[in-house]
Chain A
Amino acid sequence: MEIDRTLGWLQATPVAKAISENEILFPWIESVHVLAIVLVVGTISIVDLRLLGVASLDRAVSRLIRDVLPYTWGAFVIAAVTGSLMFSSDAVHYAHNFFFRGKLVLLALAGLNMAIFHLVGIGDVARWGKTQQTPLAAKAAAAVSLLVWVTVVAFGRGIGFTMH
């Protein structure tokens, strides 16, 4: 397949070869990846629990999002970069791995869920965001987010148990 040729080229690049041939590079990158994803999931759940009306109720929603999400995004960028580096080291195999493919789909779902919430679900957040009661659309988006991120972690572990 055409895509396999591209992936074959990717895993032959000097950076990818260095990661696959060096014994300690991969574990170091993987450790940073775990640290980053742990912070993505943990910080995003602070926002999700607020949207569900469970915690941080004394903070306005838009304010809390401004407080917390920069850390989530920072950690996400680190997770994406380290994830791409690990992927490059064995690109063809990862691309054919069920859990890797599933994880990409789940990440797309997380992005879609967030986009829908910000574009149509968030509504008049300046009004409802100050109250403890949150609208159904916000609760739904938060529940989907929590569920998707929990599954992302599970699929990530699934990759580890099926790749080597």
Chain B
Amino acid sequence: MNPTFAKSLNAICVWIDQTALSQAIQVTNWVVPAVQTIHILAIAVVASSALMIDLRLIGVFWADRPIKEVSSRFLPLVWWPLLILFATGAIMIISEPARSLKNPAFQLKMMLLVAALIVTGLFQFFQRRDAAFGDLRPRPRAAAVTIAIVSMLLWSAIIFAGRWIAYYA
């Protein structure tokens, strides 16, 4: 890592650690497990909703329905819980900034998250351009299946990286 960046990251961690909020969370031992529980439940909604869309893109779930219907049922549940995930994630960062911000597993998780959101956005872009994108019919489906597989791999990797934060600390 660039030494100037490492130094300012360090300074940010020290600063957050000394805020009243961080200190308050650090002395209340139920906050972090409670917040982690909410975080995991929100991930359950996001990952399962993404999985349903991906399985439809592959063609093994709700194959009798247009992809547009499946995505209007589940796509909002990929995006909206992210607010809860950012809020609970922020509380975890505030409680132990160095443990997360300086953690390679955390940094990897954030990069994977950006990639997953780009893939999700790409799917929406294709769907906006062509409402029947990926539907089962004689047309090239390679793009839809590729998006589905990459999406499943990325969300799984995000969950793995999240768990590994605890082991790189």
Residues of A within 8 A of B (CB): 27, 30-31, 34-35, 37-39, 41-43, 45-46, 55-56, 67, 71, 150, 153-154, 157-158, 160-161
Give a binary string over B80-115; 1 marks a CB under 8 Å from any A CB, 0 the rest.
000000000000000000000000000000000000
Known: A35-B156, A56-B73, A67-B62. A43 touches B48 (CB 8 A): yes
User: Can you identify 16 A-B contacts, CB atoms within 8 angstroms?
Assistant: A27-B163, A27-B167, A37-B44, A38-B44, A38-B159, A39-B51, A41-B48, A42-B44, A42-B51, A45-B48, A56-B73, A71-B51, A71-B55, A150-B37, A157-B36, A157-B40
A-B Cβ contacts below 8 A, count: 69
Specify which chain B residues have a CB less than 8 angstroms from the CB of A37 in the assembled complex: 44
Contacts of A31 in B (CB 8 A): 159-160, 163-164
How would you classify the secondary structure of chain A's contact residues: helix, strand, loop or mixed? helix
Q: Is the pair B160, A38 in contact by a Cβ cutoff of 8 Å?
A: no
CA distance A50 to B160 in the complex (A): 30
Closest to B105 in A: A27
Closest residue to A39 on the B side, CB-wise? Answer: B48
Contact of A34 among B33, B55, B159 (CB under 8 A): B159
B13 within 8 A of A: no
